[in-house]
Amino acid sequence: MAFPAQAQIRVVDDQGDTLTLAAPAQRIVALAPHLVEDAFAAGAGAELVGVIAGSDYPPAARELPRVGSYRGIPLETVVSAQPDLVLAWGSGTPDALVRKLQALGIPVYRSEPRRLADIAGNLRDIGLLSGHPAVGERAAARFERALLESRQRLTPAPRVFYQLGQAPLTTLGDGQIVTRVIRHCGGEPLFADAPVLVPEIGWEALLLARPEVIVAAARDDAWQAFWAGHEALPAVAAGTLYSLDPDAISRPGPRLAQAARQLCANLADAAARLASLSPGQRQAQ
């Protein structure tokens, strides 16, 4: 399909690299599930010709050809899709693959949203790169509006433990978008100052931190049985344990606004429950 003469499309990705296209991309490969969601939200679903395994939202994404998985993304498979734009995940797509694609002259946009505002930026960029700037702008504006509506401040800020793994017990450090969502909702994310992105938490450290809220990415509440009998923790004593949709909270895409709304409601509920505890029960030791 021919496009009329127009100005070049230029954006700066999350790695600080400038990406220039002579015309909107017509064949896009997305190498992370959140980028597939971004592309559909920004109006570029019809331009997707390849996605990574695990891309299951929206439902139409399940029908798209797979070019690889987290175990490996063969260069030949990506190239065979004849993309004129590849959407890569900064920390999830191997640098070697990105360099090889660029060496072949294939433009690569790298997404690495560290702040909630960066997600809106990704939506705008993908809308521009795919020739759907108005759709991308609307998607970004909806995301920003939803965040603005859900944001809250709680006093005192409840101490929140985000349970990632159970055996061993792990959480997420400050470099992860989930900790931003917890702060957005008025909570204080525990262990955010850990020197690693996925710290392993010992039981003694958890007892000292005395979490007032425990949340986990889970499709049901079965994980909460692990905490039964640990009423020494304020969260268990108050019953402030909550499940979050695992895909919505873990993918830095448009559905993160829904996860934030859910978590903010959970923390508001927790604040009301915690108000019934004595100051001594809430106070960290």
Q: Do 217 and 103 fall within a single domain? A: no
Q: Name 75's Cβ contacts closer than 8 Å, sequence gap at least 6.
A: 97, 100, 101
Confidence of residue 275 (pLDDT cuts 50, 70, 90): confident
Looking at residues 12-39, what average pLDDT do you find?
Answer: 98
* Per-residue model confidence (pLDDT) at position 2: 40
Domain boundary among 148, 167, 195: 148
Cβ contact 61:36 at 8 Å? yes
Q: Quick check: 49 and 83 in contact, CB under 8 A?
A: yes
Give the pLDDT of residue 282. Answer: 60
Asked if 186 and 201 sit in the same domain, the reply is yes
| Pairing outcome for strands 28-30 and 48-52 | parallel
Instruction: List the CATH number of the domain containing 175.
Output: 3.40.50.1980
Q: Any idea what the Cα angle at residue 251 is, between residues 203 and 172, rounded to 5°?
A: 20
Does the structure show a pLDDT above 60 at 5? no
3 assigned to some structural domain: no
**Strand spans (E) along 69-193:** 85-89, 108-111, 159-163, 165-166, 169-170, 188-189
Task: Kindly report the pTM of this predicted structure.
Answer: 0.91
257/249 Cα distance (integer angstroms): 9
The residue with greater pLDDT, 220 or 101, is 101
- Rounded-to-integer distance, Cα 85 and Cα 25, Å: 6
Model confidence over 80-100: pLDDT tens digits? Answer: 999 999 999 999 999 999 999
What band does 43 get if pLDDT is binned at 50, 70 and 90? very high
Please report the pLDDT score of residue 276 as a whole number.
79
Tell me the β-bridge partners of 28. 48, 85
**Whole-number pLDDT of residue 197:** 87
Residue with tokens 């525990």: 190
| Domain housing 166 | 154-282
| Residue 138 and residue 178 in one domain | no
233 domain residue, yes or no: yes
User: Is residue 95 assigned to a domain?
Assistant: yes
Are residue 107 and residue 221 in the same domain, yes or no?
Answer: no
The DSSP annotation for 143-162 comes to HHHHHHHH----SSPPEEEE
Q: Based on the domain organization, do 135 and 39 belong to the same domain?
A: yes
State which of 100, 121, 148 marks the end of a domain.
Answer: 148
Q: What is the pLDDT of residue 174?
A: 81
Considering only 1-10, 125-134, 200-209, 252-261, which range has the smallest mean pLDDT? 1-10
In this structure, is residue 187 part of a structural domain? Answer: yes
